[in-house]
Every structure is written in C-alpha cells, then in structure tokens.
Amino acid sequence: MAEALRVGIAGLGTVGASVARLLATKASELTRQCGRDLVVTAVSARSRGRDRGVDLSGAQWFDDPVEMAKSAPIDVFVGLIGGDEGPARAGVKAALEASRHVVTANKALLAKHGVSLAEVAEKRGVLLNYEAAVAGGIPVIKTMREALAGNSVTRVFGILNGTCNYILTRMEAEGLSFDACLKDAQRLGYAEADPTFDIEGHDTAHKLSILSSLAFGHRIAADDIYLEGISNITQADIRAAGELGYRIKLLGVAQRTDSGVEQRVHPTMVPTASVIAQVHGVTNAVAIETDILGELLLSGPGAGGNATASAVIGDIADIAKSRPGFQHGPVFGRPAKELAPYKKALMRAHAGGYFIRFTVHDRIGVFAAIAKRMADNEISLESIVQHAGGTADATQKTVILVTHETTEAAVRKAVDGVTKDGHLVDKPQVIRIERAG
C-alpha cells in the first residue's frame, strides 16, 4: 500500500469539522477506495478549545494557516476559511507555492483570484480542486472538467443558491411574504444574519463565473455579470406566475452568443412542467447544454456541512488516487495562461420573452397607453390582462403583460416610457421567462 496521504485542514467551522469527522468515521472505506490511508496531520483554526465532535489530538495545531501551508507535514492543504483576501488567499497561495496540493470550497476566492492561483498550481505541477465551491455536493465541476471531453458547451444555467430557492419555495407553497420567509430561513440557519450576499445574487454570481470559465474557456469575470436578486419578488408575482403556468426561480445563466459570452443572475419564470421547476427547498440544480450530449441536469444538496464536506473529501480522494509524476489536467479545463479574456455579450433577445407587472391608477386610457408604449418599441404581446382585484385599493389595478421574444433594451425603454406617463402607483416588475429543461 502507498504511503498515507497527509491532510492539513485550515478552518474548522461547520464544513471543516464535518470533513475531519468523515475522514475519521469513513477511514476504512476511504483506504479501500484510494489504496492508501487519508490522515489529518495538521489543523488550523481560531479556537483550540471548541468541541468539534472529532478527536484531533493527533494533529499538529497551527494558529497561522500560512505557516501550516508552508511547514506542516502535509501533502494536501484543505482551505476552508472564508473570504477572498487575508488568510484565505494567503494560505492557499502559500500551499501551492510550496508544491502542495490544494482543495478548497471558497467560491469567492476562486471568483477573484482563481486564474492566478491556477497558474501557480500548473507551474508547480500540483492539483487545485474546488468541487465544493459550486453547488455543494453536486459533482458539477468534475463533470464539466473531465466527463464532457469533446463536447462544446453552449449554455449552462441553474439554481445555485439554496437560501433563495428555499424562500421562493415557501412563498409559493404557503403564500408567505418575502420578509416572513427570510426570517424563517434565518431562524433555521439557511440564511445569514446579513443575507445580502445570498438574496441579492452575489453568491450565485460567484458560482456562475466559475462554471462559465469552465464552459467557455475565458478568464473568470465575476464582476461582469448582470445581477438581480429576489428581494423585490412579491406574492402578486408568485400568484401571476402560477396562473400563467410558470414558477419563479433565481437562476444563474451563462451562454455563448455571436457577440461573446452572456452571464446573468436574476429571478426567472420557468415552465412548471420543466424539470428545474421541480427543484424545491435548499436543493440546487445545474443544467449543461452541449452539442453532443444535449442537456444534462445535475441536482442535489447545495449546502450544509455534510454535503459540502462530501465534495471536499471527493477532491481529497482524487488526489490520493493520483501518483507521483502523473501529469495533472489544467485547473479550469485548459491551461490558465491560455484562458481567453472575457468578452461580454450584449444582453440579447430572450426565448420566451418577459413578464411585466404594472400597478396603475384605475382611470380611462391607462390600458391603451401601456399597449402603445409596447407597440412603439416593437414589442409583440402574447397577452395583456387587467386585474381589477389585483390590489387592496379600489382606485388601483394590476396590469400583467407577457411578451413574445424581444430585447432587453426594448423592454426597458417601454417600461421607462410607461413610468414617465405617470400612470404607475408602484415600481414596475420585470421578470424574464426562460426556456428550461
């Protein structure tokens, strides 16, 4: 049997502690699968005295993760510290420069520094594995990096944030407001005390930028993504979507177009009969469309200690199975130095069009004025419906439009025109309708 693989874990929070526990409780099974023992020989965390449910007395303790990365008796540095700077970045970089393999679950770090870290890993001939950084326990990174050889990806999209999916699921199932669902998600531990990173789409954007780089071979561009969150979704939108045969999901979408790569994160209406519309609660799902395979949908737990730890351990096991002298594949599917600059595509026409909801003053001419603004911008309407009982105020009405395929620019111009006409009581709501598998 080969020598034991020595593992150092930086960060012993929920995920780090789960990794340590699973490596201990699954030791025999992992040894059989990998052909060698996987042993935690070093750890680093802020508190030594905290009970983490696992015996770490045999591991060397380091207060400084960078020092552990440089000098600990380890073969693999497991970076589970949050943030894209500070010790999170310094520890991973130091480990790679010391020619140690790295496993990380830090999507923010990869979204900001992934390409430069990949360059170091490839120069040193070591692995940088990050399955746990995107979609928790779903093996989407390995699928895109290894299993789709020969396929050209045309689009990748999915539900990449369990907090948002949980909130939208509860809003539909129980008729609750966004605020009520958010408070419950915080109580259950699905949302942070400050939920902005999740509910405004930033977490999804970081994950999407990594998937997009893998899919299309460009440098990661997390700061160049069209971004909308779910905080403005109301029960009126949820009910209208259901009546029209749709369900609202927060999707991250990246697709190749004639003008470049389009990356966007926003609430989306998907047909209730589609597979992705059936993904509920904290579950994540990723769809990959290719020229050979067609559409592949991966779904499963997207967050939580065990789900994320499972992906981390899978990455460690892959390293354990590799052998000295083996030429490792590139971190992002092609050599980091060959990744193309990101070319942002124009927001183009969206198949399925748009859902537009206006709350207007109930007076003569409003309906006709809205229809004219759409016609002036060459927007073809699939339907336009007035709901007299759409609001509690008898002097107001709700007008709901569903467009045929059109452009982002045309919709925004038409909506701005309706707003300037002075007919609106509240901000208009615009939600894209997406074809989905």
Q: Which of 207, 321, 372, 397 is catalytic?
A: 207
Question: What's the token pair of residue 421?
Answer: 């006409």
Is 207 a known active-site residue? Answer: yes
| Catalytic residue set | 207
